[in-house]
Amino acid sequence: MTAPTDNIHATAIAVDGIGLLFLGPSGCGKSALAFDCLAEAKLAGLPAALVSDDRVLVFRENGETIARGPETIRGLIELRYTGIVSVDTVAEAQLHYAVKLVSGNEEERLPPDDEHVEIAMGLRLPLIRVAPWSRFPLSLILARIRSLAEKG
């Protein structure tokens, strides 16, 4: 039996075994932020790859939330005003965190430590908020993950 799969508007990457799902409305900078994280990981010598850009297939398998990219767009990421480029990719990855892009003026400065988001019916992930203009976004995300682990 195949697990129910949802096709969501998002971008997913895997960095050093951590699956990140970037969420936000069209044009908010999900792809650019994910690309920055991939580039930062490569500079740091961490393994990193795109799972999917724009459309992500998500499902539960053996108690884990999994992301997969549609075949037709595998390995491609749109960098707005630059074009569609090829990047290192993996067919699927376990998702560990959702990353929500925030403008900074509509959100609390200090979000709750137990913040989660429903990414599809019955699929929830811990949420990390990031401003799209953040310098070293992967370092910021990893710092938040470490902080949450220490508190949890």
Side chain identity at 89, as an amino acid letter? T
Q: What is the mean pLDDT of residues 62-71?
A: 95
Domain enclosing residue 72, as ranges: 6-151
As a whole number of Å, the CA-based R_g of the chain is 15
The total number of structural domains in the chain stands at 1
What is the C-alpha separation between 56 and 94, in angstroms, rounded? 12
- 1 within some domain: no
Tens digit of pLDDT for each residue in 31-62? 999 999 999 999 999 999 999 999 999 999 99
Asked whether residue 91 is assigned to any structural domain, the reply reads yes
pTM value?
A: 0.94
Residue 117 within any structural domain of the chain: yes
